Structure 1
């Protein structure tokens, strides 16, 4: 959109969105400029199209379940997978890492609000003893992987308008956790305006549009718009490891996963965990019309979620999506461009959106009064050539921090980290007492710089002389 104030205002008026500037003349110069800047982000044609489709009287189109079937995946060797194939995949992934072809990508636009924490979620402390933050855990894993494979790894971090400055300041205050600042790249997620139920863009204040992030699916076009993909091209990076900021257990640099992706010629690969129970709130990997898709738990009928295989007794729709992917950078660029039918669909989310009335007085709605539009990254999967899914162990890759208490809380994540550290110690001959769930009686912590996965831990443990006694408060770095 043009940046000339008159041109912007006239464009909104022509689109029937003139209400955005209803209080413009009452604002000071700085507030006017902020409003114009926000307005210039908005694609009015896109808003008109979304309003015509997602706000139609019939509501959002129902999810098509015709021809749906459970997706195939590559099982782990202990679950019937071919051990030789897994070994070849690991070798291929390690070669790509040594060649500098791989970068890490973290979606980190969220705040810690649900955790009762005031700040970017990535700055939330999560480890059992040292209380390292999510960002520090990831930074040390990436740093350790770079040292292991002899090539420092670029790390791309997508922030939001709400936490960008605080995130950058946090990294500077901690000297980027030992990473080269030139290899840590921050960029903002895109935003979309909220609209009322008639498609009119809502004002949050008299001088501010109700804007919100465009969903994790927006990360793909943000990579293109920010210049991150161009930087990757210059650096010879063609493979991007995607993970979200709330999961400290994730192996963000997993050579086996990277290798499977490359050997299969996949444009977008994913990890799955077997669902813990039928109604677990994760997406389901499925196939439909010959394409791999993810169907949200809220869209898959309970009857299908509960279906079991008569031969094994296992759930048929067992492959749960945990938001861990590897993507080809050329594929990301194609999706971001949106041509040839590749544009990701937007989804509708009805929300209670603070706004203002005709006189400019604030309104705090008691029920949903508007709609936010967002994209999901897994909606790119059906467009990818040779899209592929591998199995991973939940205990190795997935223990997110989402809620202040209960499931997926700091407590459950801390305990899962302790179980992982105890498992590594036991596997290497250390004497450590655990309960029936594998939780150790002694609080221990392993720095990613000592071991960020089973292999790197084993290598470091072999070099330790003498071996430390496993006692309360043991920290290995």
Structure 2
């Protein structure tokens, strides 16, 4: 077995990966062989041919025949309230039937936040400092109780954080969820190559491997057996969200209902861009297909273009990485038929990659010396049947934690949570003092187990007697 792997790498012109093999101990040899076995050499050669052995530039994104994508507007922005209500009923029926599962992409670390650990373990709530995973777990518990069917939760980790993530859930007793319904699996990896297409070694017994991007979630679902688990449980609809967004309505019956009513294979939420330069991808239509054009690929002249009739940005629909995905569509994207065009494209990223030289000495490059390959989940949209985009309220669905400070930081997310809860109190007839942005002057917290949306909060608040004063440190939720 080991010799066959070595021979395959030699035939592919990648034999240097085993240059130090004879001097390694048995454990190190097995580690290197295991990493090598993950690699599809034919795929690497194809990517070298199409993305690496070129002029060194990333492929130019075509902007021909590009138009803004249509979307279902919220009722307050002109959408049909009857259609939105019907969608909610459809989604609620699917939830009561147990046909929906949550799917979280959680392979990242908290490095950019100055935090040592899986990003999902990062504390985000204002009073209790609950970690991201707990926020989502409580939202799933609330949805399960409301619809009478506990939900399955599929969590894609990375090789880097898989063990720590599982240990965190075990330590916290899965935050009250049934452990049998929480499924962990690792994201796939791709080798990094140098600018000539040679696979890079990180050490004598370690290949320079990196996660294959959030688009790799499709392949990981299939390879891990997660899709088969879903099929056996009668689950055909996945609610996809990323681990850094605690505001996300992770089980949204209206979104699920729109998706199912339209017979869509992949649906997406959008928010209107706040300003032209906002760093969101753009939902567009190109040659009859729904696509997402990254902000870095759309010329600023188009990003700033406005509709003469409304004055609104023309390319206004911003992508926020919230999707509903049909189970069998994910399977088809994970293993496309031979010769079909339904295969997610890899993207090239030039990076500074720590490696070793021919003598086995460490090399820390000062400029990009290699290429990493990654897949983007939104690249599946052009291959989906009847893909759908619906509008969502930014204030109720999108406040990611990405940066240590400033925009999309723990502070901005904390404030957005407080603004949301202040709006709920106002809707329930109990306004609190806020500044002009809606930020309350007291710090409090509402658990999803007390209420996970405005409608549920109004109902739960009305049942309290007496109602607590909204003061610093108020926590509405089960005793902990």
Assess same fold via TM > 0.5: yes
Cα deviation, residue 459, structure 1:
2.1
1:39 maps to: 36
1:312 maps to: 310
Question: For each residue in 1:375-426, what CA deviation from the matched residue of structure 2 results, as whole angstroms up to 9, or x when unmatched?
Answer: 0000000000000000001000000000001110000000000000111011
Give the alignment partner of residue 323 of structure 1, picking from 296, 321, 324.
321
CA distance in 1, matches of 2:4, 2:454: 59
Cα deviation, residue 235, structure 1:
0.4
1:69 maps to: 67
CA distance in 2, matches of 1:99, 1:458: 26
Superposed, 1:19-168 pairs within 5 Å as: 19-58=16-55, 59-168=57-166
CA distance in 2, matches of 1:466, 1:101: 39
Question: For each residue in 1:327-381, what CA deviation from the matched residue of structure 2 results, as whole angstroms up to 9, or x when unmatched?
Answer: 1101111111122221100000000000001100000000000000000000000
Task: Tell me the C-alpha RMSD between the 2 structures.
Answer: 0.7
Q: Any conservation in 1 of the 2:53–2:197 contact (CA below 8 Å)?
A: no
Q: Any conservation in 1 of the 2:53–2:195 contact (CA below 8 Å)?
A: no
CA distance in 1, matches of 2:53, 2:207: 23
Q: Any conservation in 2 of the 1:271–1:391 contact (CA below 8 Å)?
A: yes
1:215 maps to: 213
Q: TM-score, normalised by structure 2?
A: 0.98
2:246 maps to: 248
Give the alignment partner of residue 258 of structure 2, picking from 251, 257, 260.
260
Count of residue pairs the alignment pairs up: 474
2:12 maps to: 15
Cα deviation, residue 465, structure 1:
1.5
1:471 maps to: 471
Question: For each residue in 1:434-474, what CA deviation from the matched residue of structure 2 results, as whole angstroms up to 9, or x when unmatched?
Answer: 11100000111000100111122222112211211111111
Give the alignment partner of residue 193 of structure 1, picking from 191, 194, 203.
191
CA distance in 2, matches of 1:287, 1:437: 35
Matched, 1:5 2:2: yes
Cα deviation, residue 176, structure 1:
0.1
CA distance in 2, matches of 1:75, 1:351: 40
2:180 maps to: 182
CA distance in 1, matches of 2:205, 2:453: 50
Q: Any conservation in 1 of the 2:156–2:217 contact (CA below 8 Å)?
A: yes
Cα deviation, residue 81, structure 1:
0.3
Question: For each residue in 1:237-266, what CA deviation from the matched residue of structure 2 results, as whole angstroms up to 9, or x when unmatched?
Answer: 000000000000000000000000001110
2:455 maps to: 455
Cα deviation, residue 57, structure 1:
2.5
Structure 2: 5+ residue stretches without partners: none
Q: Any conservation in 2 of the 1:53–1:60 contact (CA below 8 Å)?
A: no
Structure 2 SS opposite 1:217 = helix
Structure 2 SS opposite 1:229 = helix
CA distance in 1, matches of 2:165, 2:54: 41
Q: Any conservation in 1 of the 2:121–2:132 contact (CA below 8 Å)?
A: yes
Give the alignment partner of residue 232 of structure 1, picking from 214, 230, 233.
230
1:291 maps to: 289
1:169 maps to: 167
Q: Any conservation in 2 of the 1:104–1:155 contact (CA below 8 Å)?
A: yes
CA distance in 2, matches of 1:181, 1:7: 40
Cα deviation, residue 28, structure 1:
0.5
Structure 2 SS opposite 1:95 = helix
CA distance in 2, matches of 1:313, 1:382: 29
Q: Any conservation in 1 of the 2:53–2:196 contact (CA below 8 Å)?
A: no
Off by >4 Å, runs of 4+ in structure 1: none
Cα deviation, residue 61, structure 1:
2.2
Segment of structure 1 superposing worse, 54-63 or 382-391: 54-63
Q: Any conservation in 1 of the 2:100–2:239 contact (CA below 8 Å)?
A: yes
CA distance in 1, matches of 2:461, 2:216: 41
Question: For each residue in 1:202-236, what CA deviation from the matched residue of structure 2 results, as whole angstroms up to 9, or x when unmatched?
Answer: 00011100000000000001000000000000000
CA distance in 1, matches of 2:457, 2:153: 22
Segment of structure 1 superposing worse, 446-455 or 195-204: 446-455
